[in-house]
Amino acid sequence: MQPLSSKKKADAEGDGNALKYGRVMVFRTEKPIANPVVVLKEEFDDWAVLFNPDTAEAVGINPVGVEIWKLLDGKHSLDEIVDEIKKSFSDVSESAIGEAKEFIGDLVEKGFVGYEFEEGT
């Protein structure tokens, strides 16, 4: 898998899940990955701050958010992330997958998280 540079993304045509760049089709993986420039600063009581030096934006996250962040390695799907959260924390609500998707979606919008693209036919 190769990340698609922002210049290539700008030159590509598609809906965000599948892009055509020249003659090559690339497809978004379903495994979110943390932006490698974002810094995780763990604080007291297992809370943390995410800081994006490219945008100077910071986000405070709770212990569940910290665990989710640590699983954003491009190897875990959303379902796998939620399964890991359910194993790590007690009293995880049934709405956990929706909340995890919303949290990750917010991080994607802010540039903290993205998805890799891979070539396809």
For residue 76, the Cα-to-chain-centroid distance in whole angstroms is 10
Q: For 18-73, how does the pLDDT look when each residue is reduced to its tens digit (9 = 90+)?
A: 656 566 666 667 889 999 999 999 988 889 999 999 999 999 999 999 999 999 99
Range in 16-20, 92-96, 103-107, 113-117 with the lowest mean pLDDT: 16-20
Give the CATH fold of the 6-120 domain: Outer Surface Protein A; domain 3 (3.90.930)
pTM of the full predicted structure?
Answer: 0.74
Tokens 């919303």 found at: 102
- DSSP three-state, residue 106: helix
Q: Which residue from 21, 12, 6, 5 is spatially nearest to 120, judged by alpha carbons?
A: 21
Q: For 5-31, how does the pLDDT look when each residue is reduced to its tens digit (9 = 90+)?
A: 444 444 445 555 665 656 666 666 788
- For the chain, the structural domain boundaries read 6-120
Taking the C-alpha atoms of residue 38 and residue 57, their distance in angstroms, rounded to an integer, is: 10
